[in-house]
Amino acid sequence: MTKTTNIDDIGKREELEESLELRQRLAELGTSFTTQRQAAAEAEEFHKYKALFDNITDLAYIFDTKGNILYVNKAFEKLTGHSVDEFTGKPFAPLYGASNLEKANSFYTATLNGACPQFELTFCDTGLICEYKSQPIIDKKGVVVGAMGIARDITEQRQTEQALRDSEDRYRSLFLESRDVVFISSPAGRFEEVNPAGLELFGYDTKEEFIAIDIDKDLYDAPETRAAFMREMDRYGFVKDFEVYLKHSSGERIIVSITANTVHDHNGRVIAYRGILRDMTGYKQLEQQLIQAQKMEAVGKLTGGIAHDFNNILTTVMGYAGLMQMKIEKDDPLMSNLEHILSATERAKKLTQGLLAFSRKQIMELKPVNLNSLVTEFEDLLSKVIPEDIEFKVQLSEGSLVALAESVQIEQVLMNLITNAKDAMPGGGVLSVCIEDIDVDKGFIKRKGFGTVGGYACLSVSDTGEGMDKAIIDKIFEPFFTTKDVGKGTGLGLAIVYGIVKQHNGYIDVKSAPGRGTTFKVYLPTVDMVVEESEDSHEEVVLKRGSETVLIAEDNDELRALTRESLEGCGYTVIEAEDGLQAIERFKEYKDSISLLIFDVIMPRLNGKESFDEIKKIAPGVKVIFTSGYTEDILDKKLVREEGVNFISKPVSPRELLIRIRETLDGKLAMNG
């Protein structure tokens, strides 16, 4: 059909040849003819490809030069969430949304300018990410008439990559932020990888510095330890909680626990060690302290128990001997025997008191004590103990330091430490006592392995004597541990010091080395209190008789009988009770005649304090003296720590008791229950 028309046109050619205008038209028709033919061919080809393109999963597209979509294949629908018809002939811009549009435009422009870019874009409605390969469409004249390309869905790939990156980030921060050291080292003995905790623990500024160190030489304290570590590794392929001493860059020793495993290549050859190091230095120190404390606690319980029972026996011996002494004539031939008994009981009393002090079963009367004044007042007495060839130096703290303490006991601590210091310097030397204000903070606790945060007075006693080795230091606080000759040392001095310090909620620390002298440091918690000056007079008290009625509550028959005898011997009338309940009954019976109660603190059925509280309800102003040799856990510790409680500790001599009774009855002591 078309061809016939064309032949007709050619037939007319000669007629029209003369006219330029016509010639021109002919030319146009000729062109139109070729264009149409070409278009038809192209259309045919296009449909062939269209069918092909519609069946692929990647997106195929053709855009014109104005940003309109001329063609997209079926994949378009799945990727963008829109139908092909909806977008054919329309601009592509809405597909990308604001966040991607700029990028889309720039690549589109680049393509129109002749480039073949490869890029990634996200469709705004589906969130799917595609990777594009774009190229310009160039016609025969070399003019760009559009852009076309292929886009592949890479969403899943990108998500996997992101997940991988996230997970890597997580493990990286685990590595970077771990407080334990995480490392990789080589069989050649170098570190390949270490986290910041490692640099901090070993004291290196940069990873490069750390990687440069020779593990054998710079890290291990002893070659045997590294050899033992390697043996374990070779044998089992791993170590768990393997404890070793390693060196800090400063040379200081640190204890670490290693958990690590070997890494092999395909041939089973060890290519690396990977693992974790934990700093155990502080922990080990604490553990050591705990073991020591537990040991002391056990020994303390044992000695405390013995001392308590022995105390009661001693009180009886001492009491009856004392009574006898009061009764017999001064020139009686038995008097000297009696004096021997009494002086022996006096020594035994000191011993049991020492043991009780160590076992912390002693009852204390805590009062604010100014430590500077305590040392100053004690200095005179101390300098008498110290031989001429020892230089004695005292350095007080600048401000006054007040601790809640029993001054006699702190004096005892000083005396025991100074006696030891003196004994350690048989050839003379320097002995210094120093009081300092110390602020115990977390750093202190970490360094020393003991303490609780707060203000402390540090009382130190140093000597330039023979010093001690570690084996001795480990034992010095145990009761009866002594290195001194028989008759010279009892081994109780430091045990007593330890007990007293613990009972004051304090700490004791010792530094010593053979030939290098010794320093003991006693830390006592300080309080913000003012010390009242007391005007004790030490004059000899004359024993006065009395005529009042006294109620004695004491479960130990012998002690009760002894007290009765001593009191009756001095003119008092005695009513006895065997326990707290009976004491209340007896009081009710005789309340009009009873002037004073002497109550043992620990008794069956009802303890002294409880019994006294009941009696106080009947007679609020009643006077009381509590006696005890021992604090039990059931005992209300406040009772005896409260200031003003009239308390006397066993063993007590009849004389002491009689003096205290008179003082109480005459109102010399401002006491209450």
Binding-site ranges for ligand ADP (CB under 6 A): 416, 420-421, 424, 463, 465-468, 472, 476, 481-484, 489-495, 518
Please, what is the minimum distance in Å from the beta carbon of residue 520 to ligand ADP? Answer: 7
Nearer to Mg ion, 240 or 350 (CB): 350
- Which two three-digit tokens encode residue 151? 């886009």
Go through 555-579 and write b for each residue having 16 or more CB atoms within 10 A of its CB, e for each that does not.
bbeebbbbbbebbeebebbbbbbbb
Nearer to Mg ion, 300 or 493 (CB): 493
Nearer to Mg ion, 491 or 569 (CB): 491
Please, what is the minimum distance in Å from the beta carbon of residue 361 to Mg ion? Answer: 21
Token match 């604001």: residue? 98
Give, as one character, the DSSP assignment of residue 450.
-
Contact in structure between 192 and 215 (CB atoms under 8 Å): no
Q: Among 30-38, 364-372, 415-423, 607-615, which window interacts with Mg ion (CB under 5 A)?
A: 415-423
- Of all residues in the shown chain, the one whose CB is closest to ligand ADP is 493
400, 524, 411: which is closest to 459 by C-alpha? 524
Contact in structure between 562 and 320 (CB atoms under 8 Å): yes
Please, what is the minimum distance in Å from the beta carbon of residue 309 to ligand ADP? Answer: 23
Nearer to Mg ion, 479 or 493 (CB): 493
From the list ligand ADP, Mg ion, none, pick the one residue 466 interacts with, judged by a Cβ distance below 5 to 8 Å according to partner type. Answer: ligand ADP
Nearer to Mg ion, 477 or 599 (CB): 477
Please, what is the minimum distance in Å from the beta carbon of residue 403 to Mg ion? Answer: 23
Contact in structure between 594 and 552 (CB atoms under 8 Å): no
From the list Mg ion, ligand ADP, none, pick the one residue 319 interacts with, judged by a Cβ distance below 5 to 8 Å according to partner type. Answer: none
Contact in structure between 359 and 300 (CB atoms under 8 Å): yes
Note whether 322 binds Mg ion by CB under 5 A.
Answer: no
From the CB of residue 135, how many other CB atoms can be counted at a distance below 10 Å? 14
Note whether 281 binds Mg ion by CB under 5 A.
Answer: no
CA distance 412 to 431: 17
Nearer to Mg ion, 92 or 520 (CB): 520
From the CB of residue 360, how many other CB atoms can be counted at a distance below 10 Å? 20
Please, what is the minimum distance in Å from the beta carbon of residue 620 to ligand ADP? Answer: 48
Please, what is the minimum distance in Å from the beta carbon of residue 522 to ligand ADP? Answer: 13
Whole-Å CA distances, 112 to 132, 147, 148:
15, 6, 10
Per DSSP, the residues of 173-240 read HHHHH-SSEEEEE-TTS-EEEE-HHHHHHHT-SSHHHHHTS-IIIIIBSSHHHHHHHHHHHHHHSEEE
Token match 């030891």: residue? 420
Whole-Å CA distances, 566 to 152, 462, 486, 520, 560:
112, 47, 38, 45, 10
Whole-Å CA distances, 484 to 419, 424, 649:
12, 10, 31
From the list ligand ADP, Mg ion, none, pick the one residue 279 interacts with, judged by a Cβ distance below 5 to 8 Å according to partner type. Answer: none
Please, what is the minimum distance in Å from the beta carbon of residue 618 to Mg ion? Answer: 50
From the list ligand ADP, Mg ion, none, pick the one residue 645 interacts with, judged by a Cβ distance below 5 to 8 Å according to partner type. Answer: none
Q: Among 89-97, 214-222, 486-494, 569-577, which window interacts with Mg ion (CB under 5 A)?
A: 486-494
- Of all residues in the shown chain, the one whose CB is closest to Mg ion is 493
Give, as one character, the DSSP assignment of residue 672.
B
Nearer to Mg ion, 62 or 355 (CB): 355
Which residue type occupies 103?
K
Please, what is the minimum distance in Å from the beta carbon of residue 472 to ligand ADP? Answer: 6
Nearer to ligand ADP, 423 or 436 (CB): 423
Counting Cβ atoms within 10 Å, is residue 17 exposed (0-12), middle (13-18) or buried (19+)?
exposed
581: CB partners within 8 A, 6+ apart: 605, 606, 611
Please, what is the minimum distance in Å from the beta carbon of residue 362 to ligand ADP? Answer: 17
Nearer to ligand ADP, 1 or 486 (CB): 486
Please, what is the minimum distance in Å from the beta carbon of residue 233 to Mg ion? Answer: 49
From the list Mg ion, ligand ADP, none, pick the one residue 421 interacts with, judged by a Cβ distance below 5 to 8 Å according to partner type. Answer: ligand ADP
Contact in structure between 564 and 574 (CB atoms under 8 Å): yes
Widest distance between CA atoms in the chain:
183
Q: Among 227-235, 414-422, 552-560, 562-570, which window interacts with Mg ion (CB under 5 A)?
A: 414-422
Nearer to ligand ADP, 456 or 498 (CB): 498
Please, what is the minimum distance in Å from the beta carbon of residue 466 to Mg ion? Answer: 14
Nearer to Mg ion, 353 or 420 (CB): 420
Please, what is the minimum distance in Å from the beta carbon of residue 186 to Mg ion? Answer: 55
Q: Decide the pairing of beta strands 594-600 and 549-553.
A: parallel
Q: How many CA atoms lie within 13 A of 20 on its CB side?
A: 0
Nearer to ligand ADP, 422 or 662 (CB): 422
From the list ligand ADP, Mg ion, none, pick the one residue 472 interacts with, judged by a Cβ distance below 5 to 8 Å according to partner type. Answer: ligand ADP
CA distance 388 to 376: 19
From the list Mg ion, ligand ADP, none, pick the one residue 424 interacts with, judged by a Cβ distance below 5 to 8 Å according to partner type. Answer: ligand ADP
Whole-Å CA distances, 441 to 385, 450, 502, 504, 528:
37, 11, 19, 19, 18
From the list ligand ADP, Mg ion, none, pick the one residue 19 interacts with, judged by a Cβ distance below 5 to 8 Å according to partner type. Answer: none
Please, what is the minimum distance in Å from the beta carbon of residue 466 to ligand ADP? Answer: 6
Contact in structure between 74 and 84 (CB atoms under 8 Å): yes
Q: Among 11-19, 448-456, 488-496, 568-576, which window interacts with Mg ion (CB under 5 A)?
A: 488-496
Angle at 661 between CA 546 and CA 337, to 5 degrees: 85
From the list Mg ion, ligand ADP, none, pick the one residue 491 interacts with, judged by a Cβ distance below 5 to 8 Å according to partner type. Answer: ligand ADP
Nearer to ligand ADP, 341 or 510 (CB): 510
Please, what is the minimum distance in Å from the beta carbon of residue 353 to ligand ADP? Answer: 15
CA distance 660 to 663: 5
- Which two three-digit tokens encode residue 643? 């200031």
Q: Which of 146, 304, 319, 493 binds Mg ion (CB under 5 A)?
A: 493
From the list ligand ADP, Mg ion, none, pick the one residue 463 interacts with, judged by a Cβ distance below 5 to 8 Å according to partner type. Answer: ligand ADP
Please, what is the minimum distance in Å from the beta carbon of residue 492 to ligand ADP? Answer: 6
Q: Which 3 state secondary structure label does DSSP give 624?
A: strand
Nearer to ligand ADP, 196 or 489 (CB): 489
Token match 């997106």: residue? 59
Q: Among 48-56, 81-89, 487-495, 626-634, which window interacts with Mg ion (CB under 5 A)?
A: 487-495
Nearer to ligand ADP, 62 or 431 (CB): 431
Nearer to ligand ADP, 512 or 607 (CB): 512
- Alpha-carbon torsion angle 234, 240, 241, 244, nearest 10: 10
Note whether 420 binds Mg ion by CB under 5 A.
Answer: yes
Please, what is the minimum distance in Å from the beta carbon of residue 427 to ligand ADP? Answer: 13
From the list ligand ADP, Mg ion, none, pick the one residue 260 interacts with, judged by a Cβ distance below 5 to 8 Å according to partner type. Answer: none
Write out the residues near Mg ion by the rule CB under 5 A.
420, 493
